[in-house]
Amino acid sequence: MMMSTFPLGQWQVRRSGFGAMQLAGPWASGPPDRTGAIDVLRAAIAAGVDHIDTAQYYGPDLVNELIRDALYPYPDGLAIVSKVAGRPNGDDPGRLRAGIEDNLRSLRVGQLAAVNLRLPSPGRVDAHFDDQLAVMAAARDAGLIAGIGLSNISLEQLLHAAARTGIVCVQNLFHLADRGSAPILDECLRQQIAFVPFCPLGLPRGPENPVLNSPVVHQVAARLGATVAQVALAWLLQLAPNVLLIPGTGSVAHLRANLAAEDLTLDDEALRALDGPLR
């Protein structure tokens, strides 16, 4: 499993990437640990990470600026993926286009590997969804983005969008304790679309986290000599070859531990335990 890759549109990326949201500080609202953030970003690149997930509204502005300050000029082959926020009841197409252009300016790039249209919640297909999708397609056709992604979507929205234009990735909530997006993952695999689970270690943070505080996950981790986070990440990697991980951290030690999940193989006993109730 070590260093396996999967296409993210025209990019072939390592399946373990890095989610940069936490670099903006608690709940992506600051203040950031600037020195620590730059150290983590540079350590990620040094470790072979070639897929970084970000957004202009993290901070806002803070995370993109940290990425730029840490990594510009960017190494060849680095896929930077961002997102713009869609609205449920209509939108100004110019606002979405401006959001893409803001990302380009703050990151100092001419093109992003992909931008996800992030919806407030999964829903039905309607004219507003089509209008927003058209903005994304126009940005791709203009060369601002190499690929279109979708985030927080329903299976209906995925099928509708993919039938009309190329979709390179889908970001949905998915982890050991919440597998509601399994049909979307299956469809992405069928169409060879990258599936990027957000919050791969579960929600909420803290003592109520159903993954990191699960007795079952702890038992599996202890038996295999791994951390609970590594078990959760390895489970996702073994679930399907199109899963791309973007766990976030502000710690170089945690970054390295997360990447080491690639080397962890969950045996049949572990998989049986994790497929049952986690508590």
- CA dist 69 and 193 (Å) reads 31
- CA dist 268 and 263 (Å) reads 16
Residue 178 near residue 185, CB atoms below 8 Å: no
Contacts of 110 (CB under 8 A, 6+ apart): 104, 143
CB burial readout 204-223, b (16+ within 10 A) else e:
eeeeebbbbbbebbeebbee
Class of residue 123 by CB neighbours under 10 A (exposed 0-12, middle 13-18, buried 19+): middle
- C-beta neighbour count of 166 within 10 angstroms: 13
- DSSP code at position 175: B
Q: Is 74 a catalytic residue?
A: no
Considering the candidates 57, 58, 72, 74, report the single residue annotated as catalytic.
58
Return the active site residues.
58
